[in-house]
Structures are given as C-alpha cells and as structure tokens.
Amino acid sequence: MSIDSRTAGLSRREALALGALAALAPARPARGAAPAHGFSVFGALKYGPDFAHFDYVDPDAPKQGRIVTTAPNWAYNQNALTFNTLNGYANGGDAAPRPELTFDSLMTGALDEPSSSYGLVAETVAIAEDGNRFTFALRPAARFHDGSALSASDVVFSLNILKAEGHASIRLRLGELVSAEATGTHEIVITFSGRQSMLLPPYVAGLPIFSAADWEGKDFSASTLTPPLGSGPYRVGRLEQGRFIEYERVADYWARDLAVTRGLNNFDVIRLEFYRERIAAFEAFKKGDITWREEFTAKQWATGYDFPAIADGRVKKVLIDSERRPSLQAWFLNTRKPKLADARTREAIGLAFDFEWTNKNIFFDAYARSGSYFEKSDYAARGLPSAEELELLEPHRGRVPDAVFAEAVVPPVSDGSGRDRKLLREATRLLTEAGWTRDGQGLVDDAGERLEIEFLINAPVFEIVLGKYTEALRAIGVAASIRLVDAAQYQRRLLDFDYDIVGRAFSMSALPIEDVPTFFHSRTVDEPGSSNYAGIDDPVVDALLDHVSAARSRSELAIAMRALDRVLRARHYTVLNWHSPNHRVAHWDMFGRPEVKPDYAFAFEITWWYEAAKAAALGK
C-alpha cells in the first residue's frame, strides 16, 4: 500500500527527466564549446544531434483513442482526490494533476539515461567557461495553443514568476538562479550564482513556460478554473470541478515532429477521474468506466481481482518493474510540536509499529520493510560507516547520537504478534527517560500535558493499517487517534503543517541533489507548502546537505547521502514504512506499450497507446 504516490515535489516532466546512478563528469557540451542539441551533468549524452527518437518509444504508435485513469502520482499543490484550480505550480488551491502535459519547457529529459537535457523549445544550448551561464537559442516555430509565438520574454516571465510566486518546492530550488535575460526574440541567457548544484541547470531547463501575455493582470497565486495558455502536446478539454478533467491532444502541436516527441503523446484524450474512496474507484474500473489502474493496496491486488472480466481476459493484470530511484515512504512525526521534539519519544512511537504483523495480516506479505530514507538505492547506509563517511561525520561527534557511528539504525523486527512485549517495554523505558509519567489515564509531562498524537489521513483504508498500531500505542499510555479529513482539508493542513503525524510517499530522482534539501533543510521548516513534513531544523543535517550539493562525482554523492541517511535514521524523524519492487497494473485489454520500459520513469500516459481493434472487441 502506498500512502501517497508523489514525485518529490517535482513536476511530472522533471520527475521523469531525472535519472540514474553513474559517474558525474563535466557538462556536455563542454564549457565554452559551440552550441549543442543538449547537455548532461555527467558523461556524454546517449543520443546524438541527429537522433530520430528515444529508444523506449514506438515511433509508429497510432495516435488515437482515450485512456481513463486516476492519477497515480502528482506534485506541488496537485491533488488526486479533488481539484479547484488549474494552476498546478502555485501554493494555493488543489490543482488537477498533469498540468505539465499542457506546457513545454526549454529542454526535456530522456527516461533511459541520467539527468540528460535535450532541446525542446530550445534548439541549442551553449555553456560558458565558468559553468554559470547557459545561452539557449529558441526554435522560431514554437507556438502557444492560440497560435501566438513563444519568445524569450515568455521564458523570462516564467522563471521570474516561479521564483517569486511559485510553489514552495520550486521557489526553494531557485535560490541560486541569479537571472534570466532575453538577449533577442529567440535567445535567452540564464545565469547561476556559482553555488548551484550540478542538477539545478537541468531542473530550470525543465520548468514550464507560460505566456506572459496570458498572465498579464492576473494573480498567479489565485485559484482559477480558466486553463492557463500553454504550448504543450495537450490542452485542457472538458472538466467538471472535483470530478474529472480531460486533456485533449493538440493535433497541430508545433513540436510533434521533433525527435524528442516522436512516439510520445499518443492518446487523443487523457481523462483523469477523481474519487474520494478507493473502493468507488475500483468499482468504476470493474465496470470499465476507468480503463487503466495502478493498484496500491496489497489486499485488493491479492483478493479483489476476481471479477468476470479478469477471468475471460478482457482485463489484464501485469507487474512492471519499479524505477531505479530512491524512494521514501514513512509516517512523518511533526517535530514542530513540543510533544514530538524529543528523539526518545519519537523512537518509542516507532517501536510500537509492528510491521511484521501488518505485512502478514493486511498486506498479504507483499512488502519489505524500509530501513532507509533512500530505499532501493545505493544511497542507503549499510553496516558500519566507511572511512569516507566518517570523514564527514566526525566533525559532528557529540552533536549527533552515538548510533550514527555504529551499525546503521534499522527498524526492529517484531515477533509478529501485533503487540511485541519486548519492544513495547523498550518504548516505555524511552518514554520515561524522555520525562513522560503515567497518571492513571495515560502519559503526561512535567507540566501536566498529556501525550496525545493524531494520525492525519485522507482515505478510510488507512484506518485499517493504523488500527493495530494505535492500539499498541494506547497500551503504553500514548493517547493515539486517527483523524480522517476530506481532500481539501488534508491539503490545507499539510500546507500549514497542522498535524502530529502524517503519512507520505515519494519517489526521488536517481541523483537527488535537488530533492533532499526540500525535505530536510532548516530553511524549509517554516516555508508553507514545503516537503519538510517532519519539521527538521538541524545544523548537522544542513552541513551534510551542503556536502550533497557540492558533490562532483557519483562516489562523493553516495558518501554524502549515506552519511545524511545515518543521521536522519538516528534522529527518528519518521517511522519508516515499506516498499515494493513492482508497479501493480490492471487495464482493460485495449492498449499497446513499448517492449522496453525505461529504467527511470513509468510514463504510461505518454508512451502507451490505444489499439482500436482491441477496443472494438471489448465494445469500447
């Protein structure tokens, strides 16, 4: 079960574009070299200037038909349960997922190589000798959906508005973006401070381009159901607020014949449905109202797919490999709350969670327990710190728990009873040590404040998962409860950090240099809308994040990330959850897909296609 499937605050295009683990090297093209069709922060680009299409697409895929689904992932202010705005790049409101389908960017990434950038709106890029100035030559053919030309001034407007008023996850990343200057109608120079990470330039090149004329006189932060003018392969079509939205393929899309778009964007209509209840969404899928579904509930996957359309082959169940990217799924403990400020209290709360019982009785043994903040990657700390990790950690000895210098902290394995007495005794000891005492009704501190914690959820299914957990917490004196709220209230409370404990799940880029500060850096702790759900404000964590940002080789990055992982785990900011090696997908048998899935993204909406003959056989 995935608590919430997000992409580390990245837009869909950015999340898809960032990739793998490989040796970092100077940018391509070389600094000071002639303009080129793309660049990479390490290694040579896989695709040369004359490539015809990406290897993971079918260039002859038919462009027709429709796919109906619910959003399996989203970013920024977007919400998969409801929507009241079409601006998916601001803090305000609940936006419909997939606005990125309607916008182009300067460059776009390949999903089968790490952190590459290939020209989309920009035909070429040249990088200055110092690596801080990028000059983009724009394609004169680029057009917005109303036929107006897309110019350098639109790019300048877009970067400036995102840096000033964009979603917190965007603004926090753009601190080292110094300026964007139009030096001609079709040329823009973007300058960085020199302190930027290696991944900031491709991140900026992948941001959406808005029409400056379309936004003139409008409030970027305000919610709106008027679609902002875009230039991408889709435009907003029919919609009903909070119920569905359709993205319609732009038949005369200006970039349809470029190598970076060939074989992509094959559906005439991508329709997203919104359901408050997972069961209602599943019933809609069984009836065929939804045609493609990713299943996030292990029990449902194990026992629910026994309806007639499965038996007669009209619906297919498939397991598709997960991406080679670090993932983080956890219950985040809000340390802004004084009652959760002590690491011993947080550790005790974590000890009460019996994963083994939950996995067997609720998940049908479908998951493995996560032990790291960077699970499924070689950034996860294992065993004792290496000499290189110790070099980063030793200056902080005495300011971090001694556990940082021992075997990496991992969640304990329970006896599977749902109430492991040994673990609960240890939890009680930690709570006592943290100053909590029993008064006959529960635990109180010296001021008489009761230890009450509330799990904030937005779907009833989590009441099942949390039932045994909260029962165990109450057994040791913690007044634990579950609060189910609607989608809009959930989003608002996240924005304001108004919760005790909240569950979140993220897939990071495979080179998460730009990702991790948004989760863990002190500058994000009071920033509404940031991903610092645990309220981490730790100078040691900040110092290690500086090492992450300064990494200039893959090995340097891995060392800094492992050191960071050790400190985060020893601080017990979260109760780490679980992970799966696969995407569980069910779909009505009316789609085609490429033979090979790229390693670093699962982009079914843009790489799959509709097969008319199969659909006709189903009567669809």
Query: Which tokens go with 284?
Result: 């809609």
User: Which strands, in side-by-side order, build the sheet including 501-507?
Assistant: 479-484, 452-457, 501-507, 327-333, 574-576
Q: What are the tens digits of pLDDT across the range 190-238?
A: 999 999 988 899 999 999 999 999 999 999 999 999 999 999 999 999 9
Q: What are the tens digits of pLDDT across the range 228-240?
A: 999 999 999 999 9
Whether the pLDDT of residue 151 is over 90: the answer is: yes
At residue 588, the pLDDT reads 98
Query: Which tokens go with 176?
Result: 């080292």
The size of the chain, in residues, is: 620
The whole-chain average pLDDT of the chain stands at 92
pLDDT classification of 31: cutoffs 50, 70, 90: low
Nearest to 83 by CA among 325, 221, 222, 245: 245
Q: What are the tens digits of pLDDT across the range 42-90?
A: 778 999 999 999 999 999 999 999 999 999 888 889 999 999 999 999 9
Q: How far apart are the first and last CA of the chain?
A: 30
Nearest to 19 by CA among 42, 35, 1: 42
Whether the pLDDT of residue 318 is over 70: the answer is: yes
At residue 299, the pLDDT reads 87
Query: Which tokens go with 73?
Result: 């992932």
Beta bridge partners of 501: 333, 455
pLDDT classification of 26: cutoffs 50, 70, 90: very low
Query: Which tokens go with 427?
Result: 């939890």
At residue 278, the pLDDT reads 87
DSSP string, 266-310: --SEEEEE--S-HHHHHHHHHHTSS-EEE---HHHHHHT--SHHH
pLDDT classification of 507: cutoffs 50, 70, 90: confident
Whether the pLDDT of residue 29 is over 80: the answer is: no
Nearest to 363 by CA among 306, 417, 301: 301
At residue 3, the pLDDT reads 57
pLDDT classification of 28: cutoffs 50, 70, 90: very low
d(C-alpha 333, C-alpha 502), whole Å: 7
List domains and CATH numbers for the chain: 12-273+584-610 (3.40.190.10), 327-579 (3.10.105.10)
Listed in sequence order, the residues at least 6 apart from 372 whose beta carbon sits closer than 8 Å to its beta carbon are 379, 380, 381, 408, 565, 569, 576
- Among residues of the chain, what percentage have pLDDT more than 90? 82
Neighbours of 102 (CB within 10 A): 23
Whether the pLDDT of residue 281 is over 70: the answer is: yes
Q: What are the tens digits of pLDDT across the range 545-604?
A: 999 999 888 889 999 999 999 999 999 999 999 998 899 999 999 999 999 899 889 999
Whether the pLDDT of residue 515 is over 50: the answer is: yes
Nearest to 598 by CA among 28, 15, 121: 15
HEC per residue, 348-401: HHHHCCCHHHHHHHCCCCCCEECCCCCECCCCCCCCCCCHHHHHHHHHHECCEC
Whether the pLDDT of residue 159 is over 70: the answer is: yes
Whether the pLDDT of residue 538 is over 90: the answer is: yes
Whether the pLDDT of residue 13 is over 60: the answer is: no
Q: What are the tens digits of pLDDT across the range 86-135?
A: 999 999 899 999 999 999 999 999 999 877 899 999 999 999 999 999 99
User: CA gyration radius for the chain?
Assistant: 24
CB-CB contact of 360 with 416 (8 Å) = yes
d(C-alpha 423, C-alpha 429), whole Å: 10
Nearest to 206 by CA among 111, 125, 108: 108
* 118 or 5, greater pLDDT: 118
d(C-alpha 127, C-alpha 119), whole Å: 14
Query: Which tokens go with 512?
Result: 């998460």
At residue 23, the pLDDT reads 33
From residue 34, give the alpha-carbon distance in Å to each of 143, 154, 190. 26, 25, 17
* 277 or 594, greater pLDDT: 594
At residue 114, the pLDDT reads 75
At residue 219, the pLDDT reads 96
At residue 16, the pLDDT reads 40
